[in-house]
Amino acid sequence: MTRVLIADDHQMFVDGLKSLLIEEKEVCVVGEAKNGYEVIEICDREHVDIVIMDINMPLMDGIQASRELSKKHPAVKILGLSMYNDRDYISDILKAGARGYVLKNTGKESLLDAIATLQSGSNYLSDDVSKTLLSGFMKKGADQMMEKLSDREREVLDCIASGLTTYEIGDKLFISKNTVETHRKNLLYKLKARNTAELVNNAYKQRLIQ
Amino acid sequence: MTRVLIADDHQMFVDGLKSLLIEEKEVCVVGEAKNGYEVIEICDREHVDIVIMDINMPLMDGIQASRELSKKHPAVKILGLSMYNDRDYISDILKAGARGYVLKNTGKESLLDAIATLQSGSNYLSDDVSKTLLSGFMKKGADQMMEKLSDREREVLDCIASGLTTYEIGDKLFISKNTVETHRKNLLYKLKARNTAELVNNAYKQRLIQ
DNA sequence: TAATCCCTCACTGAAAACAGTGATTTGACC
DNA sequence: GGTCAAATCACTGTTTTCAGTGAGGGATTA
């Protein structure tokens, strides 16, 4: 009997999954969580085999929750879940300790498959997902290796997105506007953007803001 | 017996809902659709009482599908469904002919409530949703009436976010750069932004892109 | 018919962003 | 002690954006 915890902030989805999993004889739902904190809390006091972890959750999201959970309860297997077939999402949660990933737009079969596979000790990635991951690695080698931003650059990026001008940013961060210009230039280079508009756009796409 | 059609592009959510509704004696699921076209198609050949209509769907979204469905099959009752407690979403789909709206983060009770209420001939809005709608009307009078963008403006907005300059946009859309400047100005005004960076940022926050 | 909205275009001047280059200081790491 | 990355600052142009204003044509609607 696999003991499953469902973590998703959409109660209706949770209700649906529960009713779906109850039909399965070798699975039982031992709890549900609406955010990362509740996941940790429940795993602290309940025996849980698998957490079905949605990525987008309030307060603490699925990525952060996976990080903390795999530290605190390494035996608990995490199955990442989201609606996005997005390379960053997938790799982020896998890095954070998840052992599988399924998309919400696949049917219940793949979910049951994933649960069984994880419970047996293996990892599970659906075809779509592994394709995305692979294409990501290919790209990484080829055209774009997404460079990391420094703390200061991230700070400047936030200011830019808020609509502040170079001068105002310098004022706010107590540095010269020339320095801000340099940071701005480096941001444009690192995010491969041609101007602020594309910069903010790419920052959103790479989840550097919000 | 209420005959329900589920329209949502996330198969897993559909599977969950189905399994949840099957338990109810006075409800039966007569079909499922992954986009607006399939909704129309199924309603053409099946007797459907209520469509549970997700708003975000590929090819044809829930809003457009509601519009067409309420023209073609006015007897079919539409229950709007989405994860966003967003004034525009709600009012859009209600205007398009839906008779109720529920959020995915509410439980199955409110869904069953909504189905029963719609079937009885009334309209259904959950507390959260009606609050949002009301606060929307209040705000409209007060501080900010978020103005809608025209098609052309949306097009220009996309180009701006892609990093194109005013001149390049004019080139791409076969209009003068002066015209693009005007659109840009109107966008800045409507989205209350001071420059392109804030424009793109606000556009993301208001879900006008992505 | 008048009013309104959208799309179109034009002109000006000021402000800001962008490109290119070079340089110093600080702290971490080997 | 040398290397390296990050953060700081400066200077010079060119390009782009932004603000303000005005205006005409077309479609819709009250």
Q: Quick one: three-class SS letters along B154-209?
A: HHHHHHHHCCCCHHHHHHHHCCCHHHHHHHHHHHHHHCCCCCHHHHHHHHHHCCCC
pLDDT at A143: 34
Q: Region B53-63: what's the mean pLDDT?
A: 88
Position B140 confidence tier, pLDDT thresholds 50, 70, 90:
very low
The candidate with the shortest Cα–Cα distance to B13, out of B50, B53, B49, B44, is: B53
3-state secondary structure A29-91: EEEEECCHHHHHHHHHHCCCCEEEEECCCCCCCHHHHHHHHHHHCCCCEEEEEECCCCHHHHH
CA dist., res. A195 & res. A98, Å (int): 37
For strand C, which residues in window 48-67 of chain B come within 7 Å by CB?
none
Q: Tokens 């926050």 identify what position?
A: B205
CA dist., res. B204 & res. B25, Å (int): 43
pLDDT at position B185 over 50: yes
CB-nearest to B163 from A18, A106, A197 is A197
Q: Region B147-173: what's the mean pLDDT?
A: 90
CA dist., res. B110 & res. B116, Å (int): 10
Residues 6 or more apart in contact with residue A34 via CB below 8 angstroms: A7, A8, A9, A11, A57, A58
pLDDT at B107: 87
Asked if strand D contacts B204 at the CB level, meaning under 7 A, the answer is no
The CA-atom distances, in angstroms, between A127 and each of A35, A52, A66, A80, B12 are 28, 19, 22, 15, 16
Q: CA B152, B150, B80: angle at the middle one, nearest 5?
A: 125
Q: Region A178-182: what's the mean pLDDT?
A: 93
Could you identify the residue whose CA is nearest to the C1' atom of nucleotide C17?
A195
Return the structure tokens found at B24.
Answer: 């109810």
DSSP A148: P
Q: Are A16 and A111 in contact (CB under 8 A)?
A: no
List the alpha helices (DSSP H) in chain B: 11-22, 36-45, 62-72, 87-95, 108-119, 127-141, 151-161, 166-173, 177-190, 196-205
DSSP A2: E
Pairwise pLDDT comparison (B198 vs A98), residue with the higher score: B198
pLDDT at B42: 92
Phi-psi region of B183 (alpha: psi -120 to 50; beta: other; left: phi over 0): alpha
Phi-psi region of A163 (alpha: psi -120 to 50; beta: other; left: phi over 0): left
CB-nearest to B204 from A9, A163, A204 is A204
Task: Give the tens place of pLDDT for each residue, A42-90.
Answer: 999 999 999 999 998 888 888 888 888 887 888 889 999 988 887 777 8
Task: Give the tens place of pLDDT for each residue, B75-110.
Answer: 889 999 988 887 777 777 877 778 888 999 888 888
Bridge-based pairing of strands A100-103 and A124-125 is: parallel
Pairwise pLDDT comparison (B86 vs B54), residue with the higher score: B54
Task: Give the tens place of pLDDT for each residue, A136-173.
Answer: 544 433 334 345 788 889 899 999 999 999 999 999 99
Instruction: Compute how many other C-beta atoms are within 10 angstroms of the C-beta atom of residue B37.
Output: 16
* Interface test with chain A among B103, B201, B202, B210, by most A beta carbons within 10 Å: B201
Share of chain B above pLDDT 90, in %: 45
CB-nearest to B16 from A16, A165, A198 is A16
CA dist., res. B25 & res. A55, Å (int): 34
CA dist., res. A124 & res. B10, Å (int): 19
Contact B161 A201 (CB under 8 A): yes
Q: Are A167 and A179 in contact (CB under 8 A)?
A: no
Taking the C1' atom of every nucleotide in all shown strands and the CA of A178, the nearest one is D9
CA dist., res. A171 & res. A185, Å (int): 18
pLDDT at A59: 87
pLDDT at B197: 95
Contacts of A13 in chain B (CB under 8 A): 13, 16, 104
Q: Are A33 and A42 in contact (CB under 8 A)?
A: yes
Q: Region A128-134: what's the mean pLDDT?
A: 72
Position A41 confidence tier, pLDDT thresholds 50, 70, 90:
very high
| CA–CA min distance A96, chain B (Å) | 24
Q: Region B141-156: what's the mean pLDDT?
A: 66
Hey, is A111 helix, strand or coil? Answer: helix
